[in-house]
Structure formats: C-alpha cells, structure tokens
C-alpha cells in the first residue's frame, strides 16, 4: 500500500512516503485524525513530494502543514503531482515587491 500523509486539516496537499509512485497508481492519504482516502495519482511522484488532495484553482494557495507554501500557477487536479511545474513560491519574491 502506497501511503501519503496530510498533516493539517487545512492542507490541500499530502506528502507521498513511497518510492516508485507513477501516474495511475492509487495512494492512501491519511490524516492525523486517523481518516484515510484513496486517491488516484496523476503524474510520477518522487518520494517526499506532494499530491493534491482536492482540486486547486490557478492562483489559489497551496497549503501544507496548515500554511501557504505558494500558489497554484495553473489549475491542479485532485491526485496531481504538485511541484515547481504547477506552483510558485510567494515568499521572498523580490519580483513581486511593491515599489
């Protein structure tokens, strides 16, 4: 069984803790309350990387550990691999500083 963990109730991503996750596989996402759900993965996901646990609209925050870690740069489907190809960091961005 492939496992992913959702740490905070507000999270819209979960971290995968299994090697060899490829598109089309199913992972079981568990949360700290003991709930679990099976999600079909879209894209190959390296160990320790994230998948969306629900659809995330372009521009919406990507939430991990209950905090925003960036924003979706395009629509992200439930189960899709979430990384630099579909999200952008919003902290420490000098290019976004108001002048």
Please answer whether residues 11 and 49 qualify as being in contact, where contact means their C-beta atoms are separated by less than 8 angstroms. Answer: no
CB-CB contact of 28 with 14 (8 Å): no
Residue whose token pair is 């659809």: 55
Task: Give yes or no for residue 99 having a pLDDT over 90.
Answer: no
Q: How far apart are CA 69 and CA 28, in angstroms?
A: 23
Q: Provide the 8-state DSSP code for 99.
A: -
Segment 72-81 mean pLDDT: 98
Distance CA 74, CA 2 (A): 27
State yes or no: pLDDT of 89 exceeds 80. yes
Rg (CA), the chain: 14
Q: Where do the domains of the chain lie, and which CATH numbers do they carry?
A: 2-94 (2.30.130.110)
Per residue in 21-59, pLDDT tens? Answer: 999 999 999 999 999 999 999 999 999 999 999 999 999
Residue whose tokens read 């969306």: 52
């Amino acid at each position: 069984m492939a496992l992913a963990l959702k740490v905070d109730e507000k999270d819209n991503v979960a971290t995968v803790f299994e090697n060899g996750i490829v598109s089309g596989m199913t992972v079981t996402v568990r949360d700290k309350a003991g709930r679990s759900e099976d999600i079909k993965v879209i894209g190959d996901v390296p160990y320790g990387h994230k998948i969306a646990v629900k659809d995330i609209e372009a521009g919406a925050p990507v939430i991990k550990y209950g905090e925003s870690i960036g924003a979706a740069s395009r629509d992200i489907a439930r189960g899709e691999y979430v990384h630099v190809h579909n999200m952008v960091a919003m902290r420490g961005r000098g290019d976004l500083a108001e002048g």
